[in-house]
Amino acid sequence: MFSLIHNPRTFLRFIFGIVFLMCFLTNMVSGGPLTAQHLRDAFRGHRPWKTDNNERRDDDITQSQSQSQSTPPPQQGSGNVIRVAASPAQIDPHGVYIRASPLYSPTDGRPDTSRIIAGFASTSGSDRVLRVSSSTNSGASWSPLGEITRFPSDGTHDLDNAMPLALPSGRILFAFRHHSLSPSSSPSGGFHYTFYRLDLCSSSDGGRTWSFLSHIDQRAAASSSGNKNGLWEPFLRVAADGNTIQAYYSSENSADDQDNLMRYSTDEGKTWSDPPILVSSSPTAASRDGMTGVSALSSSSSPRELICVFETTSPDGTFSIARVLSHDDGLTWGERENVYMAQGGKWAGAPQVYLVGDTLVTSFLTNEGTDLPKIDGAYTKVVVSKDQGKTWTETGKAETVAGTGSHWPGLFSLNGTHFLALYSTDEMGAVSHLHSVS
């Protein structure tokens, strides 16, 4: 060793040999040709081999400001329980009102949350379209899959409220509202509803093609505008027995009163129970209960223990979020309580709920903290409960997952720690947005 130091040429050859050996070993690990970038990365402490483009980690992927300038990071409320885990992934540039369902694994027959089908409303030229897209990497990216139906945007058809549901049998269902309209005779013009339908289509080829299956509910529109009797926002789930399909929806009694109902099917959606089951109704006065979301109450309790969240105008006419519970898998409901009331007389509405591990996560739209008059196009926020829906994030500390310019959010749970916020933005259209729960 001392002779090497006293002989500069020999010493340099020795150092070069060591460097060459290190490079050779690095090349073996990386499985690819050695480059100058590999050497620079090695000296900077980075891995000198390629990473999976779909790998997503909470500590090294942040929200892309260039994609969604209006989406701020989560607020510090509630101890910052919700964390952004990736940038939003576009589902459809014109999509809105997104709902998702896991496909079932062909090997073990269980829901596979890495394989997801998402349903939404979109546009194509002058047509209103209902579509599905699919993801095979837990919502990191999406591909167009199929089209359920379309109609011209000429004021004669109202298509919206997409709700897909994959079944253990491999069949996929898709519920939606499909209402008929006609030109209004009033001096102000416009259109009025003539018939309300909650339709159901099905696919037997993984969502590529679709055919009509049944009406969940339907009726002619009331002739008087003050006696509204619309049907809205179907929500589908598979019951605890693994076979029964439940369809939750909102049913207007009048312009200022609405109930949440549920029908069930034992033949994969071909026929539906009658009369419907009452899920929620204001016990004291007229209230617009609507936009239901249903989830298991806890991962440790019976699968027959459910929670249903919804928007309501009870008790003071301001939209807020409430919940009811069921202990018999949706056959009866009760124990109505508030979930979230926005500050300053602002609105909170359009909720969804999902169980993420043992944490209940409820998303909703709110104009809380803005000067906007209504909730659509305002903030998408979430609150959480860690005690099976008994208590929730306190008012004023709901955490923001999408900034102003967001629309009609949904949720999808991936595992015990992560979920997708599903919403649309003015910049990107329909997106899925990965978050974690602590």
Task: Tell me how many domains the chain contains.
Answer: 1
Tokens of 17: 């040999």
Cα distances (angstroms) measured from residue 12 to each of 15, 17, 22, 36, 99: 5, 9, 15, 20, 65
Tell me which residues of the chain have a pLDDT lower than 70. 1-79, 225-226
Cα distances (angstroms) measured from residue 22 to each of 33, 50, 366: 14, 18, 57
Per-residue burial over 175-188, b if 16 or more Cβ lie within 10 Å, else e, is: bbbbbbbeeeeeee
Query: 10: exposed, middle or buried (C-beta count within 10 Å: 0-12, 13-18, 19+)?
Result: exposed
User: Using the 8-state DSSP alphabet, how is residue 72 labeled?
Assistant: P
Q: Look at residue 256 and tell me if it is in a domain.
A: yes
Cα distances (angstroms) measured from residue 166 to each of 103, 203, 345: 6, 9, 39
- Tally of CA atoms within 13 A in the half-sphere of 264 that contains its CB: 18
Tokens of 14: 């020795």
> pLDDT digit string (tens) for 280-308?
998 777 899 999 999 999 998 889 999 99
Q: How far apart are CA 351 and CA 380, in angstroms?
A: 10
Predicted local distance difference test score (pLDDT) of residue 223: 85
Q: Look at residue 46 and tell me if it is in a domain.
A: no
**pTM of model > 0.75:** yes
Q: Look at residue 275 and tell me if it is in a domain.
A: yes
Q: Look at residue 25 and tell me if it is in a domain.
A: no
Per-residue burial over 276-311, b if 16 or more Cβ lie within 10 Å, else e, is: bbebbbbeeeebbbbbbbbbbbbeeeeebbbbbbbb
Instruction: State the residue range of the domain holding 414.
Output: 87-437
User: Using the 8-state DSSP alphabet, how is residue 389 labeled?
Assistant: T
Q: How far apart are CA 321 and CA 324, in angstroms?
A: 11
Domain CATH code at residue 351: 2.120.10.10
Q: Look at residue 93 and tell me if it is in a domain.
A: yes
Whose tokens are 């026929």? That residue is: 271
Cα distances (angstroms) measured from residue 150 to each of 15, 129, 182, 373: 71, 4, 18, 31
Predicted local distance difference test score (pLDDT) of residue 300: 85
Cα distances (angstroms) measured from residue 260 to each of 175, 194, 217, 312: 16, 22, 13, 10
Q: Look at residue 284 and tell me if it is in a domain.
A: yes
CB atoms within 10 A of CB 145: 18
- The amino acid that residue 335 corresponds to is E
Residue of 421, 337, 434, 436 whose CA lies nearest to 379: 421
Predicted local distance difference test score (pLDDT) of residue 185: 76
Local structure of 3: helix, strand or coil: helix
Predicted local distance difference test score (pLDDT) of residue 32: 39
Q: Look at residue 31 and tell me if it is in a domain.
A: no
CB atoms within 10 A of CB 240: 16
Local structure of 20: helix, strand or coil: helix
Q: Look at residue 177 and tell me if it is in a domain.
A: yes
